[in-house]
Structure formats: C-alpha cells, structure tokens
Structure 1
Amino acid sequence: MTQKKTNSYTDEFREGAVKLAIESNQPVAQSARELGVNVNTLHTWINKFHGEPPPGSGKQVNDVHLYEELKQLRRENARLKEERDC
C-alpha cells in the first residue's frame, strides 16, 4: 500500500494564498488549482484567517461564506470607484 505525501506549507504561503483567493475575481476553487492546493485546504486556511468559529463551537455562522461576500463587495467597490472617477 502506498502512503500519501503530506504537503507542508509555510505561513507566508498560506497567508498569500488566502489573500489571493479573497482579493481575486476568480472562484476560490480556481485559485486553489492555480496554487496546487486542495480546495478544501484553501477553504480551511480562509476560515482560520478570518477567525470563523469551527463547526459545533456553539456560535451561529451564517451559511453564506463571508469571504465570498467580501470578494463580491470588493469587486463592486472597485467598479463604483471606477464609475465615479470617469
């Protein structure tokens, strides 16, 4: 039986990956593919970065992912700034 290789990532890489995933206009899954990281791993890093409580911790978390909303709001903000400056 073969063992799976466990990847080890630096904190700097994780922070950069989270920043890229949040600030880019592409889906998190696409960012994960481009970085060579499992999409679930990237979602876990994003959740840790934003301090979202783990499931079952007793705190209610909205089903809508906060980082997806943040990405949408940043895109909208950029669009509105561009419209204003024209």
Structure 2
Amino acid sequence: MKPYPPEFKAVAVALYRSRPGVTSKSVAGDLGVSTETLRTWIRAADGRRPGSHSAARTAAPESDSV
C-alpha cells in the first residue's frame, strides 16, 4: 500500500466536495488512487468509521423558523 501525505489526502477530499454531482470514482481516477482509498479518506475527514454510511455528503442548512 502506497503512503500518501496528509496534505494530498486533504486536497483529494476537498476536490471531491467542491464538485457537486461528481462521483468518487471519477475524482479517484483523476488523482490516480483507488475509489475505495478516496472513500476511506472522505469517511476519515467526516469522523466516521470505515463502513459507516450514516452521515450525508454535505450538511443541510439549519432553519431558524419560529
């Protein structure tokens, strides 16, 4: 397994999140990493365990309705 620097992982996750509608597969391909590697980095950035699918890709805005 090839070690990647934390900066590269952070940029990869930011790239994925900055492109709405893009798949992790296409971003991973652009970066030359496996899809599962990128998914692992995304989960880690979200603070989730591998295999957990409970958190959304982006947080919904909070409503201030009274």
Give the TM-score normalised by the residue count of structure 1: 0.58
How many residues are matched? Answer: 59
Query: 2 CA distance for matches of 1:32 and 1:13?
Result: 12
Cα offset, 1:53, TM superposition: 3.3
Q: Which residue is equivalent to 1:9? A: 4
Task: Confirm or deny: 8 A CA contact 2:13 2:42 kept in the other structure.
Answer: yes
Structure 1 runs not aligned, ≥5 long: 1-5, 74-86
Determine which structure has the larger helix proportion and give its number. 1
After superposition, residues 6-85 of structure 1 pair within 5 angstroms as 6-25=1-20, 26-55=22-51, 62=54, 66-67=56-57, 70=58
Larger Rg: 1
Aligned-pair identity (%): 29
Output the aligned Cα RMSD.
Answer: 2.3
Deviations 1:32-82 (A, max 9, x none): 000001000000000000101345xxxx853xx522xx2xx7xxxxxxxxx
Task: Confirm or deny: 8 A CA contact 2:40 2:50 kept in the other structure.
Answer: no
Structure 2 runs not aligned, ≥5 long: 61-66
